[in-house]
Structure 1
Amino acid sequence: MPAIGVFALQGDVREHLATLTALGADAFPVRRPEELARCDGLVLPGGESTTMAKLARTFDLLEPLRERVSGGMPTFGTCAGMILLADRILDGAAGQETIGGLDVTVRRNAFGRQVDSFEADLELTGLDEPVHAVFIRAPWVEEVGAGVEVLAEAEGHPVAVRQGHLLATSFHPEVADDGRIHRLFLDLVQG
């Protein structure tokens, strides 16, 4: 049973923990470096990307996160988590930091504000049936590096990508009562 941490300083942590636990993972919140150290894989949830990065720095988690991600720990970022994994951000806050590792340029709040939130059924590489995607102040991928596989698009923009041990979605699979994307991540961890 893989030990999967969910970054828990800010964001929609409970939903990820519930989905991962239902799939048989040993899922737990990560707020300190010693909790990060026991992770076989990590989920960076949706939330507020600038706040998450600032809190990670305040709680001495930013450098350990960068080390684990660059060292090959499987990591799954959703919405703000995608922004945290991105090497480059457009429309970010001044001085906004990321964990990095994913060779993409992400545009923050690309689909608009909270009132512009929407849902769509998307074809996603690796899944037989479309996935119901919930977009809330979501980013999109503006450009991908050579090693990045685009798994799904919405409105002509990549919204799910994979690069080696990293998986990221612009949308929130944890709120859709569908564990298939989390299952893809667990397969990556156990692969």
Structure 2
Amino acid sequence: MSPIIGVLALQGDVREHLAALRASGARATTVRRTTELSEVDGLVIPGGESTTISRLLESFELLEPLRRRIADGMPAYGSCAGMILLASKVLDGREDQHQLGGLDVIVRRNAFGRQVDSFEDDLAFDGVDGPPVHAVFIRAPWVESASPQVEVLARVSDDPDVPGGQVAAGRIVAVRQGPVLATAFHPELTGDTRVHRLFVQMVEGRSRERPLEVGNNETQEGRT
């Protein structure tokens, strides 16, 4: 059966993410309550304003439940503001901003500039077959640094005259660490569902592993 993947529906491109997930073979649903969070196999955290989403997570009493689920291994994908929220540390954020964790990275908020500095680029993206991924950057962050446990999937030059697909070393804009995926750009806006298909495959892989993990836990408990 297809996995159930939620889209955090507090702010951002919720409808576009739902459409991309459904086109990628998932059963997609919105998540605004803890009961809805408990029913999904994975979660997409869309773009928007990271400090606003942080406050709304607290207001909707989703912050700690979501942190626990990510810590327990639930697959999560964050685009733009979602990347910021999944990072372990944020530069240029607010002091009262909450982090969800899941990615051992330092992210710089609004790194590429303001709304007027938005741009598009074609990126070589590890783990995605076919031509370069067309990426839309809107007030986008970048990953300032990542631990060795983090897989770098895509980079873009901060020089606008150098295409991202030709950059061997540049700003990190897509990463994965185990079941957690993040992009600084918005694949839900382009009609290209390959990044969402990658995430659906990650969720499916995690779902197949889960029964084995439960069995292992029961065995461990039986030994104590």
In the superposition, the TM-score normalised over structure 2's length comes to 0.84
Counterpart residue identity of residue 194, structure 2: R
C-alpha distance in 1 between matches for 2:178 and 2:150: 8
Q: Which secondary structure does the structure 2 equivalent of 1:9 belong to?
A: coil
C-alpha distance in 2 between matches for 1:32 and 1:78: 21
Shift of 1:94: 2.4
Counterpart contact for 2:181–2:199, Cα < 8 Å: yes
Counterpart contact for 2:73–2:179, Cα < 8 Å: yes
Give yes or no for the alignment of 1:30 onto 2:1.
no
Counterpart residue identity of residue 144, structure 2: E
Aligned partner of 1:167 in structure 2 is 181
Q: Which secondary structure does the structure 2 equivalent of 1:66 belong to?
A: helix
Q: Unaligned 5+ residue runs, structure 1?
A: none
Shift of 1:22: 1.5
Q: Unaligned 5+ residue runs, structure 2?
A: 158-169, 206-224
Between Structure 1 and Structure 2, how many residues are aligned? 191
In the superposition, the TM-score normalised over structure 1's length comes to 0.99
Counterpart residue identity of residue 145, structure 1: S
State the 4+ residue runs in structure 1 displaced beyond 2 angstroms: none
Q: Which secondary structure does the structure 2 equivalent of 1:63 belong to?
A: helix
Counterpart residue identity of residue 131, structure 1: V
> Residues 27-176 of structure 1: matches in 2 within 5 Å?
27-127=28-128, 128-155=130-157, 156-176=170-190
Counterpart residue identity of residue 52, structure 1: I
Shift of 1:66: 0.1
C-alpha distance in 2 between matches for 1:8 and 1:31: 6
C-alpha distance in 1 between matches for 2:104 and 2:58: 22
C-alpha distance in 2 between matches for 1:145 and 1:176: 30
Bigger radius of gyration, 1 or 2? 2
Q: Which has the higher strand share?
A: 1
C-alpha distance in 1 between matches for 2:156 and 2:59: 35
C-alpha distance in 1 between matches for 2:149 and 2:95: 28
Counterpart residue identity of residue 153, structure 1: R
Q: Which secondary structure does the structure 2 equivalent of 1:97 belong to?
A: coil
Q: Give the fraction of aligned pairs with identical amino acids, expressed as a percent.
A: 64
Counterpart contact for 2:25–2:200, Cα < 8 Å: no
CA RMSD of aligned residues (A): 0.7
C-alpha distance in 1 between matches for 2:3 and 2:125: 24
Counterpart residue identity of residue 148, structure 2: A
